[in-house]
Amino acid sequence: MWLPWTKYRRPPRDKVTPRLLWHRSLEGNLKSIREELGHPYDLVIREFQLGSGQTRPAAAAWINGLADEAAIDQHILRPLMFEAGNAAGPGELADHALSLGGLETTGDLRQVATALLAGVTVILVHGAARAYLASTPGWPTRALAEPPSEVALRGPRQGFVEDIRVNTTLLRRYLRTPDLRLDSMTIGQRTRTPVIIAYIAGVVNPRIVEEVKARLGRIQIDGILSDNYLEELIRDAPYSPFPTIGNTERPDVVAAGLLEGQVAIFTDGSPFVLRVPTLFLQFFQTPEDYYLNYQVATLGRWLRLAGLTVALTLPSIYVAVTTFHPEMIPPQLLITIAAAREGVPFPMVIEALIMEFAFEALREAGLRMPRALGQAMSIVGALILGQAAIDAGIVSAPTVVIVAGTAIASFLLTHPDIVAVSRLIRFPLLLLAGTLGLLGVMAGLILMHLHMLSLRSFGVPYLSPLAPLNLSQARDTLALWPLWSKTARPDMFTWQKSRRQAPGNRPGPPKKRRRI
Amino acid sequence: MPWLKDPVRPKSGRPKLKALGLAVAVAVAGLFFLSGCWSAKEINERVFLAAAGVDPAPPPERVEVTYQLIRPAAVTPAGRSGRGGSSEEKGVWVISNTAPTILEASRRAALETGRKIFWGQLQVLVVGEEVARQGLQPYLDVLGRIRESRHLAWLVVAKGSPAKDILKAESPLEKIPARTIDEQLKAAPVSSLAMPTTLHDFWRTLACAAPCGPVAAGVELVKDSEGKPRVRLAGTAVFRGDRMAGWLDEKETRGLLWVHGKVKSGIITVKLPGREDGEVALLITRAGVERQPLLEKGRPRIAIRITAEGNLWEQAMAENLITPEGFTRLEEEAARAIRQEVLSALAKAREYKSDIFGFGRAFYRHHPREWPAMKPYWEEEIFPQLPVTVEVTVRLRQGGMLSAPIRRR
């Protein structure tokens, strides 16, 4: 995004001058293809004679590894070399010889080069100024597996992979409706990354789709390597720690989102799919919420909300209350804390900061270190930091308990983006608590809430349905209700009233006794 | 893609905005360093006051304040805090000093303790009887003003000894003796023979719209079997205004609690008429009171109706009382006993001319128009002669787990 007050002008796009090569001779064409690609080592060119007993030279070219060689053998080389009839002119090959689904022709050298890099096999015939582009993609992909970041005990065990074709297929397997729209774009001048915008026509709010397309269309960048590149380039509040775009590795989650009017953005090369608009409370949902008993799921959701509250505020409230307001602590507890703090050399804030730092360091190290070192790390963490630090009188035991409690609470947060929020905001709150006491904590929390209230995700207020309050939907977000009771589709994303099921789905015995 | 070859755009932003942003950042950073942690005090820079005692001191000093200070390391059981105290160590440190005012005494005590005394955890405030009889207002004033003070601290009056001695007495159950007093007061509803009063209760009664009589629980020293002094609850101190007027004994205290509807439980012991032996203990399980301030031809009168429910839980005779007739007899006797308690409390209150029952407030509420005429004469003339009718109804529910006494057939 260019800042509005800069004088920077976008340079004009260069005019595409199609290089309509094309020599009459096969040799010439092959040469220009080689030159266009820069003589790569993995470009395979197979020259052959068209049809049996004919002497019309032809050639097939593909990139080794990107194309499926078995398909090329069976559907291109074999028919062209042995079965292409005498009469078959270059223009009739498609009708009679090439038994492939995806087939195009082009005369543009640039397009030929791009196609080769997307796994297409190019077929050239001597004397023809056009090339056949046969779709034979065949690069290695990962097997479908359960995503480690979003595990569900009960629910489908499929996750997205790096290949965008597989990912959209997985989505189609859930939504067998012609209304499912998959609009494609290519972003990144050098990576030419395919990006697909998925939504359900008739459910989605068309203005949100337009906005998504407009924001993606504005991007000018050399490369898109993962979904986060896109996320950072289309976010509503680029400086905020709060995520306004959700992501998921699960096709069922994407399908559920589309059914509620969300738009999904697939990026080739990333198993994560972006979901917009995404609201704050959605980061407290897990896929399992909708696969388990709704009462259990409600409990889980409240636990996660409480987890965020505790992870954000527990250390700062502890520091504020012990150093500024000891009258608020029950006498027994106060005596225990005071006894533990006899002889501790640091102020309470510093002590808490030391322990928080140690915990964050362990967590960060645990994420990046090779697994073999994990055991050594946990010994260092548990023994040295916990027990030894207390015995040495450097920190007090209650502080360790508080930091551990904070850690446990933050384990409740399943979404990495929200964990990041709790870590980023915890430390400023702790400093405020150490300098201004509860007054500082409250000021910090009020600022945080004001900031959250100012956020929007693709036009939807970030804290809705709580602020602005929408009672019927706040009811659905704060607790889970049986499926049959939710007849209305949430209108936060669709911006209009709509139904998702008929009333009267509640199971139960028939009202009137049937005669037998 | 010609823009890929463009020179990198110079960093944009208005210089003014940038300077502003920098200034805000510096100001925010300064907040952390310059605030000096305003009013922050680490826990180990404070010493916590469990109980305080107030006694009079000869001029020019006015008060002698006694502090029961908590020694946290000695209170926490050994092993839990690493350096924990041994069981012989005393949990508190009792010191006292004198000064013209309590606040000055408290600050002066830091000369001795090296730490600022923290009043926010005060559990018990003990006032000597001498101070109480002089009037408490000048001594309690500071506790209403300072931010640290805890209005829910218990207010007790030391009976027959200075407050200092009460605070010096140790407790065999608790390392902090103040906590024993706290537990004794919290356990008062078991017998309903003491009336726990907080500073807040005292102030509220003192400042009530009618001339009410505040009360406070009394404590005294008794010797235990080893001859060591121990603290025990002892009746109720009755105040007239802020000056103590006299004592109520335990039974009279319960009489007061009946009228306030604050009896939760307790034992009524009755004897059947015409029998010398055979006490029967009745456990009160529920009690209620209804007070009706009446004006009859301009003459005030109060009707009190007490209802109590209870069970027969002990009897010192073989006769089976769990019969309709037996229960009726017991109910009548219990009602007479309760009525007696109330009347004896009333007699004492009249003697002290202190309306500890809040009858005046009841008239103020029910007859606001007539009240101003009564108010000036209430404590001196009206209350001591106020006709009071006490009506008690007792209902016995059951006889415990026996349907008849266990005896030889």
Say if residue B273 is in the same domain as residue B296: yes
Choice between A276 and A17, residue whose per-residue pLDDT is larger: A276
Q: Answer yes or no: is the ipTM higher than 0.95.
A: no
DSSP string for residues in B49-94: EEEEEEEE--TT--EEEEEEEE-HHHHSPTTTSSS---TTS-SEEE
Residue with tokens 């006794």: A513
Q: Considering B248, B268, B303, which residue would you say is the last residue of a domain?
A: B248
Query: pLDDT-based confidence at A1, cuts 50/70/90?
Result: very low
Per-residue model confidence (pLDDT) at position A5 = 53
Angle between helices A26-37 and A109-117 (to 10 degrees): 60
Do B81 and A335 make contact, defined as CB atoms within 8 angstroms?
Answer: no
Say if residue B212 is in the same domain as residue B278: no
Angle at CA of residue B12, ends B10 and B18, nearest 5°: 130
The partner residue sitting opposite B35, judged by closest CB among A339, A397, A435, is A435
Q: Is B298 on the interface with A (CB under 8 A)?
A: no
Choice between B253 and A291, residue whose per-residue pLDDT is larger: B253
Choice between B143 and A94, residue whose per-residue pLDDT is larger: B143
- Domain that residue B142 falls in: 42-248
**Series of mean pLDDT values for 10-residue runs along chain B (409 residues):** 57 68 81 63 88 92 94 72 58 93 93 92 94 93 89 94 94 91 94 94 92 94 92 94 94 95 92 82 94 91 95 89 90 94 95 94 93 92 94 92 87
Q: Would you tell me which residues 165-204 of chain B have a C-beta closer than 8 angstroms to some C-beta of chain A?
A: 176, 179
pLDDT digits (tens, 9 = 90+) for A345-354: 888 888 999 8
Separation between Cα atoms, residue B409 and residue A432, nearest integer Å:
79
Separation between Cα atoms, residue B275 and residue B311, nearest integer Å:
21
Amino acid letter at B308? A
Q: Are A177 and A200 in contact (CB under 8 A)?
A: yes
User: Domain for residue B304, yes or no?
Assistant: yes
Choice between B132 and A364, residue whose per-residue pLDDT is larger: B132
Say if residue B306 is in the same domain as residue B180: no
**The domain that contains B400 carries what CATH number?**
3.30.300.210
User: Domain for residue B13, yes or no?
Assistant: no
Separation between Cα atoms, residue B258 and residue B219, nearest integer Å:
21
Each as own residue / partner, the long-range contacts of residues B141-148 (CB below 8 Å, 24 or more positions apart, any chain) are B142/B101, B142/B102, B142/B103, B143/B102, B143/B119, B143/B199, B144/B203, B146/B103, B146/B119, B148/A327, B148/B118, B148/B119, B148/B120
Do A324 and B148 make contact, defined as CB atoms within 8 angstroms?
Answer: no
Most confident of A71-75, A101-105, A453-457: A453-457
Residues of chain A with a CB closer than 8 angstroms to some CB in chain B: 3, 5-6, 8, 10-14, 189-190, 220, 222, 322-324, 326-327, 331, 334-344, 347-348, 390-391, 393, 397, 431, 434-437
Instruction: Give A349→chain B minimum CA distance, Å.
Output: 10
Task: Compute the 3-state secondary structure of chain A and give helix, strand, coil in percent, each to the nearest 5.
Answer: 50, 15, 40
Do A336 and B120 make contact, defined as CB atoms within 8 angstroms?
Answer: no
Per-residue model confidence (pLDDT) at position B79 = 47
Q: Are A109 and A33 in contact (CB under 8 A)?
A: yes
Alpha helices, DSSP H, located in A369-470: 374-379, 389-391, 397-411, 416-436, 438-454
The DSSP output letter for A325 is -
Buried b (16+ CB within 10 A) or exposed e, B227-258: eebbbbbbbbbbbbbbebbbbbbbebbbbbbb
For residue A402, give both structure tokens. Answer: 């508080």
| Cβ neighbour number for residue B391 with a 10 Å cutoff | 12
Separation between Cα atoms, residue A45 and residue B144, nearest integer Å:
96
Do A326 and B39 make contact, defined as CB atoms within 8 angstroms?
Answer: no
Do B75 and A339 make contact, defined as CB atoms within 8 angstroms?
Answer: yes
Say if residue B123 is in the same domain as residue B234: yes
Task: Indicate the SS3 state at residue A514.
Answer: coil
Burial of B317 (0-12, 13-18, 19+ CB in 10 A): middle
Instruction: Give B37→chain A minimum CA distance, Å.
Output: 4
Q: For B80, name the nearest residue in chain A, comparing CA atoms only.
A: A340
Do B76 and A435 make contact, defined as CB atoms within 8 angstroms?
Answer: no
Say if residue B239 is in the same domain as residue B349: no
Say if residue B219 is in the same domain as residue B309: no
Kindly report the average pLDDT of chain A as a whole number.
Answer: 86
Say if residue B258 is in the same domain as residue B113: no
Per-residue model confidence (pLDDT) at position B342 = 96
Q: Is the pLDDT of residue A14 over 80?
A: no
Do A338 and B70 make contact, defined as CB atoms within 8 angstroms?
Answer: yes
User: Domain for residue B239, yes or no?
Assistant: yes
The partner residue sitting opposite B76, judged by closest CB among A327, A336, A431, is A336
CA A481 vs. chain centroid, Å, equals 27
Q: Are A160 and A249 in contact (CB under 8 A)?
A: yes
Closest CA to A161 of A286, A264, A246, A272: A272
| Cβ neighbour number for residue A184 with a 10 Å cutoff | 13
Instruction: Give A386→chain B minimum CA distance, Å.
Output: 13
Do A11 and B2 make contact, defined as CB atoms within 8 angstroms?
Answer: yes
Separation between Cα atoms, residue B314 and residue B282, nearest integer Å:
7
Structural domain count, chain B: 2
B201 φ/ψ angles, rounded to the nearest 5 degrees: -60, -45
Q: Is B86 on the interface with A (CB under 8 A)?
A: no
Q: How many residues in chain B?
A: 409
Using omega within 30 degrees of 0 as the cis cutoff, is the peptide bond preceding B60 cis? yes
B295 φ/ψ angles, rounded to the nearest 5 degrees: -120, 115
Task: Indicate the SS3 state at residue B210.
Answer: coil
Separation between Cα atoms, residue B158 and residue B126, nearest integer Å:
6
Per-residue model confidence (pLDDT) at position B80 = 47
Per-residue model confidence (pLDDT) at position B60 = 86
Radius of gyration of chain A (CA): 30
User: Domain for residue B14, yes or no?
Assistant: no
Say if residue B123 is in the same domain as residue B171: yes
Separation between Cα atoms, residue A234 and residue A257, nearest integer Å:
19
For residue B101, give both structure tokens. Answer: 């005012």
Residue with tokens 């201004």: A436
Q: For B49, name the nearest residue in chain A, comparing CA atoms only.
A: A331
Do A339 and B13 make contact, defined as CB atoms within 8 angstroms?
Answer: no
Choice between A492 and A374, residue whose per-residue pLDDT is larger: A492
The DSSP output letter for B43 is G
For residue B163, give both structure tokens. Answer: 């407050």
User: Domain for residue B11, yes or no?
Assistant: no
User: Domain for residue B164, yes or no?
Assistant: yes
Per-residue model confidence (pLDDT) at position B35 = 56
What's the distance, Cα to Cα, between the start and end of chain B in Å? Answer: 114
Say if residue B230 is in the same domain as residue B125: yes
* CA distances from residue A34 to A20, A134, A377, B18, B186 in whole angstroms, order as listed: 15, 18, 53, 52, 95
Q: Are B196 and B181 in contact (CB under 8 A)?
A: no
Q: What are B286's strand-pairing partners?
A: B309
Amino acid letter at A223? G
Choice between A403 and A25, residue whose per-residue pLDDT is larger: A403
Q: Considering B196, B231, B248, which residue would you say is the last residue of a domain?
A: B248
Residue with tokens 């009564």: B374
Choice between A486 and B273, residue whose per-residue pLDDT is larger: A486
Q: Are A284 and A418 in contact (CB under 8 A)?
A: yes
Radius of gyration of chain B (CA): 30
Q: Is the pLDDT of residue A359 over 90?
A: no
Q: Considering B219, B248, B277, which residue would you say is the last residue of a domain?
A: B248
Q: What are A59's strand-pairing partners?
A: A47, A124
Contacts of B182 (CB under 8 A, 6+ apart): B123, B124, B154
Q: Is the pLDDT of residue A201 over 60?
A: yes
* CA distances from residue B264 to A505, B190, B261 in whole angstroms, order as listed: 53, 7, 8
Separation between Cα atoms, residue A497 and residue A489, nearest integer Å:
7
Q: Is the pLDDT of residue A87 over 60?
A: no
Say if residue B227 is in the same domain as residue B83: yes
User: Domain for residue B12, yes or no?
Assistant: no
Do B1 and A3 make contact, defined as CB atoms within 8 angstroms?
Answer: no
Q: How many residues in chain A?
A: 516
Say if residue B267 is in the same domain as residue B345: yes
Q: Which residues of A touch B14 (CB under 8 A)?
A: 5
Say if residue B147 is in the same domain as residue B260: no
Q: Is B93 on the interface with A (CB under 8 A)?
A: no
Angle between helices A294-324 and A397-411 (to 10 degrees): 150
A149 φ/ψ angles, rounded to the nearest 5 degrees: -85, -20
**Chosen from A435, A438, A439, A441 to mutate, greatest number of chain B CBs within 10 A:** A435
Task: Indicate the SS3 state at residue A140.
Answer: coil
Choice between A511 and B105, residue whose per-residue pLDDT is larger: B105
Per-domain residue ranges for chain A? 26-135, 164-278, 294-457, 464-499
Separation between Cα atoms, residue B233 and residue A262, nearest integer Å:
70
Q: Which residues of A touch B50 (CB under 8 A)?
A: 331
User: Domain for residue B30, yes or no?
Assistant: no
Per-residue model confidence (pLDDT) at position B310 = 93
Q: For A6, name the nearest residue in chain B, comparing CA atoms only.
A: B12
* CA distances from residue A42 to A122, A125, A170, A449 in whole angstroms, order as listed: 14, 21, 31, 56
